[in-house]
Amino acid sequence: MRAGEFPWRLLLAAGALVFLAIGEPAAAAARVSIADLLAGAERFDGAEVRIAGEVVGDVMLRGDHGWINVSDGTGVIGVWVPASEVRGLQGGRYGLRGDVVEVTGTFRRADPRQGGETDVEGRTVVRLEAARPLPRPLDRRRLYAAGLLGAAGTALGALWWRRERSARHPAG
């Protein structure tokens, strides 16, 4: 190196050492369907996973952790996660679509802390969509049937009333 020249080689070598020391940033886990998780349980056991789906049923808080069940349309799996991550979430039920969430955590094929249950030990839960009421479409066939039954009941009631009235007050 000549006097007054910038030490590019030294800078490049120092940068390479820093990169090797820090390492490559960890890639985010790819999102996987619940059906694929369950079908490949041995392969995914202990792996970092991301799942997304609707929270179904109750959010069950148990001390500093809580359980949620997540359904992605291909399957349902329980998620054990810090309570701070699930407070305020709403699970789906009749007439209500639950919050849609993305969970990042570790898949456990047979979690010994949970009695051998298959679950995801979640670290983070992100709400993607808020819970919302589900529309209940009007079933026109049922409406017509109810109208017909109502009309038939009214007609039969009128006939009965007329018969009773004429039995009490015979014409003549």
Return phi, psi of residue 104, to 5°.
Answer: -115, 130
Give the global pTM: 0.65
Whether the CB-CB separation of 34 and 53 falls below 8 Å is answered with yes
The reported pLDDT for the residue numbered 24 is: 43
The reported pLDDT for the residue numbered 23 is: 46
pLDDT in tens, 101-130: 999 999 999 888 888 899 999 999 999 999
